[in-house]
Structure 1
Amino acid sequence: MLLAEDLLLLLVDDATGKPVTDGTKLDHAIAGALLLELALQGKVDVAETREENVRKGRLVVRDHAPAGEPVLDDALTFIAGKNGKKPDSVIGPLGKGLRARLLSGLADRGILRREEGRILGIFPTTRWPAEDSRHENALRERLHDVLVVGLTPDDRIGALVSLLSAIDVVPKVVESLDRRALKRRAKEIAEGAWAADAVRRAVEAVNAATVATIAATAAATSDSGG
């Protein structure tokens, strides 16, 4: 299961099949999850110092070999074409059409259920309620163990928590009587003490890029509406 798929399962309500957060946040976060997945696999890195044709803090592809997953391979090809770009310059393009692609894939595998309908009998809509929640339930238990019990996260859970924290949705995913403590613990994990240096750089860069892209999109929408 991809990190982006895990994130999507957590942020789509099992009963209603609708996102539990703003769609723009969701789209940018799952795009960020693709970047982190590639970083965890050692295929994409954030330059620590200036390299040939790549400035510090820019994306650099370390391994061009296919990951064996079409969504990841498409992302890797796109990023390779943008080698040396800032992370926030690729988040938006990576997110275009990504949510629908991942949702359809999860439905094809029997994890979600596609339900077509119409709003007011006119406007077509699609909902994605849960069909098989076993993976998601296990994932929520692991998140609870890390965020509430205090266990040390592995790389994948740490990366997932960092994205949830970046878009401020942790309390919507993990139940806790102390929301402040929950968010504080998530922020600690987002700082990346659990990760190797390369992954920590990627986590920091992707989180910052995700937040910046969301803010820029919100500002552009506000300006166009005004």
Structure 2
Amino acid sequence: MAVTLAEEIVLLSLDDESGSAQQRQAAGWAVAGGILLELVLAGRVSVTGERLEVTDTTPTGEPLLDGRAALMATWLRGRGRRRATDWLAHDQPKAVSAAVEVLCRRGVVAEEKRKVLGMFPVRRYPEADGTVERELRDRLRAVVLDGAEPDTRTAGLIALIHAAKLHALAFPDGERKRVTARMAEVAEGQWAATSVRQAIRDTQAAMAAVAVLTVTAVS
């Protein structure tokens, strides 16, 4: 079963048994960044410096990507180019919910509704099919801990995890310094074409910038 980078990040962030989300804000930035990166790699969007532009409206066939691309096109309408950081800030609160919805439809997680203190409704998304996350973690382990060469998508995923500082979600029992160093090496490595590496770096830069802006605004 093929899942998007954004869905993979959501799987890493959800507790398998309780279905509760961990590191919500950082994971949210990584999910929004994952959608943006895949649209860039698919040739549907371009990020040039700070500027974002829709270059091709042809559907990719992936419900999550096509849904966000349509929203992005509407957001950009009449404005030409806008900053990638503005889009990430706009999309981050909604991107996780969109990715979770697709995972539910795929049967990978299940939605559970309950009330806290009998009053406040909450939703949890425990794992329904563990094979997808196991394959995901095996791929990450092979590259980060065993030194295997990454394919483009795995390297992109690692770069997003590294940029959002989600190392502990991917490797809760791993040696933190070793994991961080290897992820940084993959993110900066020569494993793909220059255009692909640039797309990942542009996405990482946009994620970092918008996270700083958010922290500044809150403080």
TM-score computed with the length of structure 2 as normaliser: 0.89
Q: Does 1:180 align with 2:185?
A: no
The 3 A distance-change label for structure 1 pair 192 and 79 is farther
Which digits, 9 at most, give the CA deviation of each residue in 1:169-216, with x for residues without a partner?
Answer: 113312555321110000111124222222211111111211221222
Q: Does 1:62 align with 2:59?
A: no
Which digits, 9 at most, give the CA deviation of each residue in 1:106-156, with x for residues without a partner?
Answer: 123221111111222221111111011101101100100000001111111
- 2:123 corresponds to which of 120, 123, 126: 126
Corresponding residue number in structure 2 for 1:53: none
Q: How many residues align?
A: 213
Specify the SS of the correspondent of 1:15: coil
TM-score computed with the length of structure 1 as normaliser: 0.86
Specify the SS of the correspondent of 1:77: helix
Opposite residue 26 of structure 1, the aligned amino acid is A
Q: Does 1:77 align with 2:70?
A: yes
Opposite residue 162 of structure 2, the aligned amino acid is S
For structure 1, the 5+ residue unaligned runs are: 48-55
Corresponding residue number in structure 2 for 1:164: 161
Corresponding residue number in structure 1 for 2:203: 206
Residues 1-226 of structure 1 mapped to structure 2, 5 A cutoff: 1-21=3-23, 23-47=24-48, 56-80=49-73, 81=76, 83-174=80-171, 177-222=174-219
- Provide runs of 4+ in structure 1 moved above 4 Å: none
CA contact (8 A) 1:46 1:60 kept: yes
Opposite residue 184 of structure 2, the aligned amino acid is K
The 3 A distance-change label for structure 1 pair 183 and 83 is farther
Specify the SS of the correspondent of 2:82: coil
CA apart distance, 1:20:
2.1
Question: Separation in 2 of the partners of 1:87 and 1:164?
Answer: 18
Question: Separation in 2 of the partners of 1:155 and 1:131?
Answer: 28
Specify the SS of the correspondent of 2:46: strand
